[in-house]
Amino acid sequence: MISETKFHPSTELLQEFAAGTLSAGLNIAISAHVEFCELCCHKTSEFEAKAAIDWLQTSEKHSSSDYSDMIAKIVSQPQQNHIEQQDPSLSEIHMLDHSVSLPKVLAKAASNGLVWKKLSGGIKQAQLNIDDETQCEFIYMTPGSQTPAHKHQGSEITLVLDGSFSDELGEYNRSDFIMRTNKDVHQPRSDEGCLCFAVLDSPLTFTKGIARLLNPINNYRFRRSMSQRAV
């Protein structure tokens, strides 16, 4: 595991992760961060234990069959996570033009093969169909690349997997978990190149220059991809 992580999921997000109430896309992003981050791994285990105790304390209100079901759920959920956490070694996969070590949950998601699309400014994107609530994608910023300035209509979560990038709010390295909301406008750039996993719950809005012309197309594409998955 890597210990120099500077940016982590919020406590609320980790609690929702432990309770199993997040979308599949967010679950994968947090799971992957937890594989990198000892601190969040420890916190998640604590939240899971607390949730289990809460279940037990409310057990008197339930019939014995409900009680058995609850115990089965309590026991099965933490066990699955502990199996993931017993062996924290990352999985090496060949991606783009080099090999990278990915958290197992993402290596598995990428193992079916990725279709990379070139976006403007030296950015490459490979989308994953994870759920019908979020857009999940690997983003590769080639060395020296910069995305157009943009803001978000909802939230964007970015997990740095390899290399580093920076924006107006900071510099981010491997294992950092960054959340941007509709209040933030930013323009990420990467000098050394950067591979990330991103989860968006709504399309981007470009705020400067010719990229603004793409906004209606982005909105349309986002809605279309969500509705296709919902079918």
Name the residues that contact Zn ion, by CB under 5 A: 8, 37, 39-40
Task: Please say which residue, 44 or 147, places its beta carbon nearer to Zn ion.
Answer: 44
- Closer to Zn ion by CB, 34 or 52: give it: 34
As measured in angstroms, the least distance from the Cβ of 176 to Zn ion is: 9
Give Cβ neighbours of residue 109 (< 8 Å, ≥ 6 apart): 28, 128, 130
Query: Minimum distance between the CB of residue 55 and Zn ion, rounded to whole angstroms?
Result: 25
Contacts of 221 (CB under 8 A, 6+ apart): 203
* For Zn ion, the closer CB: 159 or 214: 159
CB of 177 to Zn ion, least distance (A): 6
- Taking the complex as a whole, the smallest distance from the CB of residue 24 to Zn ion amounts, in Å, to 20
| β-bridge mates for residue 220, sequence order | none
Across the chain, which distance is largest between two alpha carbons, in Å?
A: 64
Residue whose CB is less far from Zn ion, 9 or 193:
9
Q: Which helix (H) or strand (E) holds 136?
A: strand 135-141
Calpha distance 37→9 (Å, rounded): 10
> How far apart are CB 138 and Zn ion at their closest, in Å?
20
Based on CB atoms, which residue is closest to Zn ion, 40 or 95? Answer: 40
Among the residues of the chain, which ranges form H helices? 11-19, 24-36, 38-57, 64-86, 104-110, 215-230
